[in-house]
Amino acid sequence: MNLLTLPLGLLDDAAFNVASIWKEASLFNKGIITILLILLALQIYTAIERFIMYSQSNSASEKFLKLFMDTLRRGDFEAAKRAATTHNKSHVALVLKHGLDIFQYEKQLKAMNPNHDVIQPVERAIERGTAEVTELLKKGMSILASIGALAPFIGLLGTVAGIIKVFADLKEKGAGDINALAGSIGEALGTTALGLIVAIPAVAFYNILVNKQDMVVTNINNAASQMIDEFIRRESQA
């Protein structure tokens, strides 16, 4: 059997499977495989938690915005705040309620000082609220980014260790019996494959969640802009 037919020979070997790779793996590579499996479980948990959070936030935001804008145009600020409290899973609601609270506070200050600017403090409050919500949305993102970046290198480390073991076996047993080396070769290739299996979905999840984060921030900015426009309209009529 030459080098070109070696992979096919290994695939035909019934003993070449995950269980046999684990069985033949060195203690070091068993540690590598364990780490990669832990990272895989961590990314699945993080992705599921984030997708559920975004689903709940988007659903709550749709219901909240319909109520909030209607009550805001009627000038019923207390009803608008109740809508935000009711739909507290909405990140849009968190920011707009904060802006509304500041607007009411600044209106009290303006009652004492007619020249007091009400709008600018509201805009600054919304900027701060948006920044805080953005940090909440980033929860778990660094985990996915780190897994996507590190998993291939962790797998490659296992591959290097496996190749070293292959050469050690070659020195000890010679190249006459390829089957005797199959475990070490499978170990060397298997850790890299596992590293890629862990890394690829982590990168995909990260990119999807970044897009969802951007959409939430865009919705916040659009809704906040409409709210400020309503405040400006009311101030111009006062």
Q: Any idea which of 5-14, 135-144, 208-217 has the lowest mean pLDDT?
A: 5-14
Domain encompassing residue 221 = 26-237
How would residue 16 be classed by pLDDT, with cut points 50, 70 and 90?
A: very low
Measured in degrees and rounded to the nearest 5, phi and psi for residue 52 equal -65, -45
Whole-angstrom CA distances from 129 to 20, 139, 147, 210 are: 54, 16, 29, 19
Dihedral-angle region of residue 221 (phi above 0 means left; psi in -120 to 50 means alpha; beta otherwise): alpha
Residues 6 or more apart whose CB falls under 8 angstroms from that of 64 comprise 83, 84, 86, 87, 90, 92, 93
- Residue type for 53, please? M
pTM over 0.85: no
Digit-coded pLDDT (tens) for 43-86 = 999 999 999 999 999 999 998 988 888 888 888 888 888 888 88
| Predicted local confidence at residue 92, as pLDDT | 92
Q: How many domains does the chain have?
A: 1
- Note whether residue 61 is domain-resident: yes
Please check the confidence at residue 228 and state whether its pLDDT lies above 50.
yes
The pLDDT of 198-216, averaged and rounded, is 95
| Predicted local confidence at residue 4, as pLDDT | 35
- Note whether residue 143 is domain-resident: yes
- Note whether residue 10 is domain-resident: no
- Note whether residue 11 is domain-resident: no
Percent of the chain whose pLDDT exceeds 90? 45
Whole-angstrom CA distances from 117 to 50, 55, 95 are: 39, 38, 20
- Note whether residue 12 is domain-resident: no
- Note whether residue 45 is domain-resident: yes
The pLDDT of 13-28, averaged and rounded, is 63
Q: How far is the C-alpha of 80 from the C-alpha of 97, rounded, in Å?
A: 8
Under 8 Å between Cβ of 89 and 63 = no
- Note whether residue 206 is domain-resident: yes
- Note whether residue 19 is domain-resident: no
